[in-house]
Structure 1
Amino acid sequence: MAGILVMPLPRAQSVLVKSFRLTETQPLCGMEGTVVSTPLATYRVSPTDSATPAVSFPLVRTADGAIWQEACLFLIYKFQNNCKVKTCVGLAKDLALYRRYLDAEGLDFRHFPSEQNRRVTYSYRGHLRLEVEAGQISIKTARRKLSAVIQFYKWLAQEGLFVPENSPWKAKRILISVDNDGRKPARRLVESTDIAFKIPNVADITIVTDGGRLRPLSDEELDTLIKSLYSLQNAEMLLAHLVALSTGARIQTVLTLRQEDIVNCSKGLNNCAYLPVGPGTGIDTKYGVSYTLVMDWFLVERLRIYISSERYKDRLYKSEGERFKGKEYLFLTNRGGPYFKSLQDPGYDLARYHGEGAAVRQFIQDRIRPILASHGKGFSYTFHDLRATFAMNLFNSLSERRELQPSQIREYLRFRLGHASHKALDSYTSFNELNKISMLAQENWEGRLRSFLSREFKNDYDYPAD
């Protein structure tokens, strides 16, 4: 971690080093390594593993500008044990916030006296609880912040770097059910602490749980969204939205579709094209699942028209870099780059992979939402909500067919969505059932309420003056 310039900061914070590589010091009089000069010392360093390229990586700095050594070593440990850079960035931010709290309270992170509520872990939990009660953060955010702190102290004890004289929390082991992403449901033994925030499992009939909290769009919202997309005249964004709405594909699948797959596909059953996606196709899927994407032929024809347009040819002309077996992306930016570079392409950067698709999300934020708001339709949506919209519409249309059994509908929905998660399928089912019950209950109650009011309120009712 050589070469970090020490400068005073207003407070502890996380910083992202754009080119980070683990190094070890070498004798200054030697010939190996690179010379590093700082205001405090001059020395040589060389990479601990020359085969590993430099990556963007987060570090935590204290208010005096120095790195928080224990926190940074913890982040490096996480990274070396297959923790994604994006996850390390989140941990670094949460640990920096923890350090700010300690500095503000004049506490050392090793402060664990005999009195329980004075130990830093318990006092930090109390601080977060007050922020939750004041509405400054959500309980989910508080849980995440405290989880980073718990992981940090567990690692310190595991490595023998710091073992507090008094326990930082009370722990117990419990069994929890795990959906296991469609495979046989399992139970896992986990450790629970008395300082962790427990999130109540409250039913929310407005969302579907399928790789996130998704909200299917209503027919009115969908109509408004498509009209807004047409008005913006951005072919790539319009077509990407339509592909997601008509296939239920996730953003990484939509944006890594390849030109030749659309050009060379043929019309199959029910006027649809059947496109293999997943490993070996150049089209990415979540968890690398292989399945068949079913696309309406009308949409295939619209995509072929786009491929033959000057707009697409111009973007294709600007494109650079290696592609999966020479296959060009269907969706390219105005600079010729992919909106989402496939992890199957040569030379992809795993550290950047989970940040791909940002241009689409930014387009939704900066271009689409203002139009929705200007029409008085300022509903919020994410690209992933399009998947839920597809799934709910497919589920509802199949449910109207009396000859189909629920098990058949679930199996076909699983086929179209490209995963086998029982939890996700149950979420779509319960969403439909709970909303029907909610609508019926509301109609019945409103009818009764109107009957009560009609006895007192007349058409010519005059409200008395104060």
Structure 2
Amino acid sequence: MAQLEFIDYTPWREEIDGDALQFVPDKLGRPIKGLPTIFWSNGEPWSEANHFSIEKVLSNQGQSTKTALALMKHLAAYANWLESEGLDWRHFPVRRDDRSVVRFRGYLIDQRDRTGGLSPGTTTARMAAVIQFYRHVQAYGLIAKSSPLWKDRMTVIRYHDSVGFERAIMRLSSELAIPNRKRNGLHLEDGLTPLRTEDVAKLMKFTQEQNLRELHLMLSLGILAGARIDTITSLGVKNIETAYPDVQTPGTYRLRVGPGTGVRTKFDVSGELMVPKFLIDNLKEYSYSMQRLRRQDLASEPNRGLLFLTSRGNPYVSSTFNRLMTDLRRNAVADGLRFMHSFKFHQTRATFGTWLMGVAISVAGPKVAVEFVKQTMLHRHERTTFLYVRFLEEAPIKAQMAKEFSQAFSGLLKRDWTQYHA
């Protein structure tokens, strides 16, 4: 699969030395540290996409690669899809529906509408990044300008200025743009839904049987403690060692996270994860296992204390973790776990939150339950926590509706209609 890597870029320029052409560092050019670049699975760079990345950084006066990184992550996803479909990004036949970029749009919409798939916001942003890339390569002559990409249209956006006068601006819009429309039905954080209990059991059994120890522990932290990816990948051995028993909840430990602990949280929220004692014990055992110690030996000094390291001793970043999830999905589906086809790691958090809210409501009622779950899951806003309440309230209604609908109409579907024929 295609890889998103980071390089230190130094601009070069051509120079004529007698009759020879040579390239030398361009002293007037601007070097870029940590430039996001894409390489195909065969190791070849995607030169046009990398040129796009360079221009995006330079257009920001070289101050930050943040914008370029966001765009290149979407292009890396496009590159992976192209390779999986055996398509070339320059494939533009006359028939519109056969064009690679049009087919990718259909794929994104399908992923958006699939349970556990892409969120509407990510879908819109990913297609916008691909369109922006194609505009770039066409403007720089990196693709034939006669290539039938898509049809553009001008849209008028009306607004009122600070003194109340009506104004209008014209914006170029592509027919391939995907509107950011909310997915039907109620979903939890990041537009995802929880895993079924039986699917959780199958997933954990699979990682255990496949001896995927590190991945098994990561999934356990998501399912049993509601930890996010960023939190899990920034955990240190010291964080596990300093976890302490919760005197009010036997068999449970408190694990401090957030500012001052070295463990990342969304919005830098400070708090404590509730982690089962047996999982803390397993994490401690893993921290001193030969598997992890070998990885620690390969790590640089600042990263040696991290609990989870790649096989090369590097900390997990989004690209390496995404590869881990891609391999997990592929292998699990091949083993018969069809629900893993669209699995997202964040579903483990949604699964924990749904279970926790259900238990809390049954014991203390909605008001106390919401506050308890909000603190346990480190939610910044209470409205995020209320999603779990609504999800649990709607579930029995949907189940009963499906049951009664089936009872009411199954007889009609099975009825022998031959007696009514003329």
- After TM superposition, the score normalised by the length of structure 1 is 0.61
More moved, 40-49 vs 252-261: 40-49
SS at the partner of 1:332?
coil
Paired residues of 2:236 and 2:306 also in contact (CA < 8 A): yes
- Tell me, in whole angstroms, the C-alpha distance in 2 between the residues paired with 1:415 and 1:191: 46
- Aligned residue for 1:437? 397
**Matched length:** 366
| Aligned residue identity for 1:437 | I
CA distance in 1, matches of 2:348, 2:241: 25
- Aligned pair in 2 of structure 1 residues 191, 332: CA closer, same or farther (>3 Å)? farther
Q: Which piece of structure 1 moves more, 76-85 or 414-423?
A: 76-85
2:366 matched residue in structure 1: 405
**Residue number among 285, 300, 313 corresponding to 2:265 in the alignment:** 285
Which of 284, 301, 309 does residue 332 from structure 1 map onto? 309
1:45 aligns with 2:26: yes
Indicate which of 209, 217, 222 corresponds to 2:200. Answer: 222
Aligned to 2:299: 320
Cα shift readout 1:15-58 (whole Å, capped 9, x = no counterpart): 989645364879x7xxxxxx9999867565126557x6363446
Taking structure 1 as reference, are residues 53 and 369 closer, same or farther at Cα in structure 2, changes over 3 Å only?
same
- Which deviates more, 190-199 or 361-370? 190-199
Give the equivalent residue in structure 2 for 1:121. Answer: none
Structure 2 distance, partners of 1:443, 1:215, is 21
CA contact (8 A) 2:267 2:380 kept: no
Unaligned runs of 5+ in 2: 40-46, 79-86, 113-122, 137-151, 161-168
Q: Percent identity?
A: 18
Letter in 1 for 2:154: W
Q: Which amino acid in structure 2 is aligned with residue 76 of structure 1? A: L
- Kept in 2, the 8 Å contact 1:252–1:357? The answer is no
Between the aligned partners of 1:431 and 1:37, the Cα distance in structure 2 is 74
The question of whether the paired residues in 1 share the 8 Å contact of 2:12 and 2:24 is answered with no
Residue by residue over 1:225-282, the C-alpha shift from the partner in whole angstroms, topping out at 9 and shown as x without a partner, is 1222221223222222112111100122112221122223321231322222123322
**How far off its partner does 1:387 sit?**
0.8
- Evaluate the alpha carbon distance shift between residue 151 and residue 301 of structure 1 in structure 2; reply closer, same or farther with a 3 A threshold: closer
1-side partners of 2:105 and 2:323: how far apart? Answer: 35
CA distance in structure 2 between the partners assigned to 1:256 and 1:37 by the alignment: 55
* Pair 418,38 (structure 1): closer, same or farther in 2 beyond 3 Å: farther
Q: Any idea what SS the aligned residue of 1:53 has?
A: strand
Find the residue that maps to 1:253 and give its secondary structure.
Answer: helix
Superposed counterparts of 1:58-207, under 5 Å = 73-74=55-56, 76-78=58-60, 80=63, 83-89=66-72, 100=90, 131=102, 135=106, 138=109, 144-146=126-128, 149=131, 169-172=154-157, 197-205=178-186
2:352 maps to a residue whose letter is F
- CA positional deviation for 1:302: 2.5
Q: Which amino acid in the other structure matches residue 87 of structure 1?
A: A
Question: What letter is aligned with 2:257?
Answer: V
Aligned partners of 2:295 and 2:310 also within 8 Å: yes
The 5 Å alignment of 1:27-46 reads 45-46=26-27
* From 18, 21, 28, the counterpart of 2:9: 21
Please state whether the residue corresponding to 1:46 is helix, strand or coil: coil
**Which consecutive residues of structure 1, in runs of 5 or more, have no partner in the other structure?**
1-13, 29-34, 60-64, 106-123, 155-166, 176-189, 341-352
Q: 1:81 to 1:71 in 2, by over 3 A?
A: closer
| Residue equivalent to 2:279 | 299
CA contact (8 A) 2:329 2:341 kept: no
* Backbone CA RMSD of aligned residues: 4.9
CA distance in 1, matches of 2:255, 2:18: 56
Offset of residue 434 of structure 1: 3.0
Q: Corresponding residue for 1:381?
A: 343
* TM-score normalised by structure 2 residue count: 0.67
- Equivalent position of 2:83 in the other structure: none
